[in-house]
């Protein structure tokens, strides 16, 4: 196996889009940042040099980090941030994984501009399908013209609906739908040769929205998701939620012309406040297309017909169609006995400002809107990362005031019917009990089989919940609309060929059930990848115990792990 080595220089720079210079934080001056390309089994070394004014961490989203939790890059979960003018080296292996992943900053909401693709190619050079002619990263992002630190502050205080990006991007380009003073933004252009097969590696790197992606006149065969192969299936539309990656094959089998590719944000339906349409387009250009695009081609490139921007069902069906290859050895382990069951209600509530025991609730001046799991809003530790605390404590010792995440919400009710959730004066939905703020964790024995059911609730209004677990892939057993009902739903679990993922898009006002084997010692963040929600506390930590032998034990931290002293506000 080889060593793939990079230096990431994090720095603020001006970048020009929409006729404006915006000061953004970038890696090596690039947006999106540099690609990390490796072969299965390689060692990846990234020297992070921080010349930005912020504390930075980088998370290698979806990399399992087997026995290398120290390199996971989750701010205050696995490390303290790398302070300005200091460096840290991330070192990990990409073993047993093939496909597309991505990296992003995991502090505040800086990942809006600090992200890039990770491509892991098979060691044998062969795929479970015909080798594509070419790999094409397709990173869906968004361009922000606002000070992200201010936006982040707004989020942790309940948010402002004006906190929106200026536009959507494909591989950093806004595309010709955006212009200013007569200047049209560039499109991302993919040149194709007729008859050849292209593997599009889609990454959704945006802060909130799921995106629909299409190419006019072409179909896709979905072959991978979250760096796991899936049973191939054909579709003309891909839905990719924040944090997810989807690999598709596209054969250039259309008449040799020009075709638009479009990424369109899937927006929540009414009654959510008006959100602008975010859409970016690029071009697929056949290299033997006539120069004037006359002849058999239309003058304008062909536009695909997109799902409605408020259509959440296209995503539901897309994700429901993902199934895995039945050869995974972990599958046998999750088919039988389940050691731990968690039922996690995802919602929004409010807490009183300044620790007051009671106040006018519902986003008033006296209370703050928060997001929660089982009515507890996650509080990020401030003095020491959870992983360091774990290292300093005996197996069953207490962790700096960390509490257990409850296995279920304080009370069950009809979660998905807004009419049955109490409403406070002013019309805001309210939880039945006051929400608490705490640093929560669930602790699992080594190799425990864990089932988690995520229930989205009407308190979320219409936001979606792409739930992401660090350090493990999980099998997605089922999803459904409305309230989860074990008497009805367990029998519908797919235990034959479920898809293996690191992020599951929980249907709006619905639920999803996952299972995984807690086989990787460490402290792993588990959170909603809808950035608004993570800032508001929809998160917890899964702690996995060391195994009985040394090679099932997390080694001590690297010597250059950033110190938690001199934390900058």
Query: Interface with ligand C2O by CB under 6 A: which residues?
Result: 59, 61, 74, 104, 106, 243, 468, 470, 525, 527, 529
Sheet order of strands, 258-266 included: 189-192, 279-286, 258-266, 210-215, 238-240
Nearer to ligand C2O, 203 or 429 (CB): 203
* Residue 206 DSSP symbol: -
CB 489 within 8 A of CB 513: yes
Cα-Cα end-to-end distance for the chain: 41
For residue 187, the minimal CB distance to ligand C2O (Å) is 27
Secondary-structure percent of the chain, ordered helix, strand, coil, rounded to 5: 10, 40, 50
Nearer to ligand C2O, 249 or 344 (CB): 344
Rounded Cα–Cα distance for residues 353 and 103 (Å): 35
Distance (Å, whole) CA 81 – CA 25: 15
Q: Measuring CA to CA, how many Å separate 545 from each of 62, 395, 532?
A: 20, 8, 30
Residue closer to ligand C2O, measured from CB, 77 or 517: 77
Paired tokens of 57? 């961490």
CB of 503 to ligand C2O, least distance (A): 8
Cβ 79 to ligand C2O, closest distance in Å? 13
Instruction: Name the residue nearer to ligand C2O (CB basis): 61 or 218.
Output: 61
Least distance (Å) between residue 55 CB and ligand C2O: 16
219, 190 Cβ separation under 8 angstroms: no
Report, in Å, the least distance between residue 461 CB and ligand C2O.
23
Task: Please give the DSSP secondary-structure letter assigned to residue 185.
Answer: P
**Cis preceding linkage at 492, omega within 30:** no
For 259, list phi and psi in degrees, rounded to 5.
-135, 140
Closest-by-Cβ residue to ligand C2O is: 61
Cβ 145 to ligand C2O shortest distance, Å: 23
Minimum separation from the CB atom of position 176 to ligand C2O (A): 30
Tokens 């069950």 correspond to what residue? 412
Separation between Cα atoms, residue 474 and residue 502, nearest integer Å: 6
What is residue 188's DSSP assignment? P
Q: Closer to ligand C2O at the Cβ: 64 or 470? A: 470
Among all chains, which residue has been given the structure tokens 């990424």? Answer: 263
For ligand C2O, the closer CB: 220 or 525:
525
Q: Which is nearer to ligand C2O, 201 or 468 (CB)?
A: 468
Nearest to ligand C2O of 77, 199 (CB atom): 77
- Closest approach, Cβ 172 to ligand C2O, in A, equals 19
CB of 61 to ligand C2O, least distance (A): 4
106 vs 173, beta carbon nearer ligand C2O: 106
For residue 147, which phi and psi values (nearest 5 degrees)? Answer: -70, 110
Rounded Cα gap, residues 168 and 144, in angstroms: 9
Least Å distance, CB 38 to ligand C2O, is: 18
Q: Which residue number, 59 or 361, has a Cβ lying nearer to ligand C2O?
A: 59
DSSP element (H, E) containing 327? none
> Nearest approach, Cβ of 160 to ligand C2O (angstroms)?
23
Question: In terms of Cα–Cα distance, which of 566, 489, 479, 551 is closest to 521?
Answer: 551
Contact partners, residue 106, CB within 8 Å, separation at least 6? 57, 58, 59, 73, 74, 75
Cβ closest to ligand C2O, residue 59 vs residue 173: 59
Asked whether 286 and 186 are in contact (CB, 8 A), the reply is: no
Sheet of strand 376-378, all strands in order from the earlier edge strand to the far edge: 436-438, 376-378, 367-373, 340-352, 448-456, 510-518, 474-481, 499-501
């Amino acid at each position: 196996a080889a060593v793939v080595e990079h230096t990431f220089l994090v720095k603020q720079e001006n970048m020009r889009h929409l006729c404006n210079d915006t000061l953004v934080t970038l890696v090596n001056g690039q947006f999106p940042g540099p690609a990390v390309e490796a072969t299965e089994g390689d060692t990846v070394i990234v020297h992070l040099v921080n010349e930005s004014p912020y504390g930075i961490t980088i998370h290698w989203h979806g990399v399992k980090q087997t026995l290398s939790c120290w390199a996971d890059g989750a701010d205050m979960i696995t490390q303290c941030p790398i302070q300005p003018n200091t460096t840290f080296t991330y070192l990990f292996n990409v073993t047993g994984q093939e496909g597309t992943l991505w990296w992003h900053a995991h502090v505040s909401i800086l990942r809006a501009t600090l992200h890039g693709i990770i491509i892991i190619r098979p060691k044998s050079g062969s795929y479970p399908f015909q080798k594509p002619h070419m790999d094409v990263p397709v990173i869906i992002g968004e361009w922000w013209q606002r000070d992200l630190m201010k936006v982040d502050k707004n989020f942790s205080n309940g948010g402002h609906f004006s906190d929106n990006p200026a536009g959507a991007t494909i591989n950093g380009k806004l595309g010709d739908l955006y212009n200013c003073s007569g200047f049209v933004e560039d499109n991302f252009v993919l040149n194709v040769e007729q008859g050849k097969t292209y593997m599009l590696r889609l990454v959704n790197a945006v802060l909130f929205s799921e995106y629909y992606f299409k190419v006019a006149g072409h179909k896709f065969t979905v072959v991978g998701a979250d760096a796991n192969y899936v049973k191939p299936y054909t579709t003309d539309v891909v839905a990719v939620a924040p944090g997810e990656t989807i690999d598709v094959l596209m054969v250039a089998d259309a008449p040799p012309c020009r075709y638009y590719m479009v990424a369109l944000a899937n927006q929540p339906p009414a009654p959510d406040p008006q959100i602008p349409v975010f859409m970016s387009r690029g071009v697929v250009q056949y290299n033997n297309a006539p120069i004037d695009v006359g002849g058999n081609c239309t003058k304008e490139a062909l536009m695909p017909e997109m799902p409605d921007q408020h259509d959440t069902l296209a995503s539901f069906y897309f994700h429901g169609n993902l199934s895995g290859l039945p050869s995974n050895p972990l599958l046998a382990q999750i088919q039988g006995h389940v050691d731990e069951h968690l039922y996690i209600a995802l919602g929004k509530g409010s807490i009183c400002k300044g620790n007051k025991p009671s106040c006018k609730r519902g986003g008033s001046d006296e209370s703050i809107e928060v997001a929660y799991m089982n009515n507890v809003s996650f509080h990020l530790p401030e003095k020491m990362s959870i992983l360091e605390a774990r290292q300093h404590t005996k197996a069953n010792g207490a962790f700096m005031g960390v509490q257990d995440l409850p296995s279920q919400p304080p009370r069950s009710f009809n979660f998905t019917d807004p009419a049955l959730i109490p409403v406070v004066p002013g019309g805001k939905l309210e939880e039945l009990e006051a929400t608490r703020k705490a640093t929560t964790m669930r602790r699992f024995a080594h190799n425990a089989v864990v089932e988690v059911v995520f229930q989205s609730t009407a308190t979320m209004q219409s936001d979606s919940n792409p739930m992401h677990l660090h350090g493990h892939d999980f099998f997605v057993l089922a999803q459904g609309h409305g309230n989860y009902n074990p008497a009805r739903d367990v029998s519908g679990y797919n235990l034959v060929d479920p898809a293996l993922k690191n992020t599951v898009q929980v249907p709006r006002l619905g639920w999803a059930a996952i299972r995984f084997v807690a086989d990787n010692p460490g402290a792993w963040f588990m959170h909603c990848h809808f950035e608004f929600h993570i800032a508001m506390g929809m998160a917890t930590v899964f702690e996995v115990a060391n195994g009985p032998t040394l090679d099932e034990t997390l080694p001590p931290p690297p010597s250059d792990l950033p110190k938690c002293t001199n934390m900058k506000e």
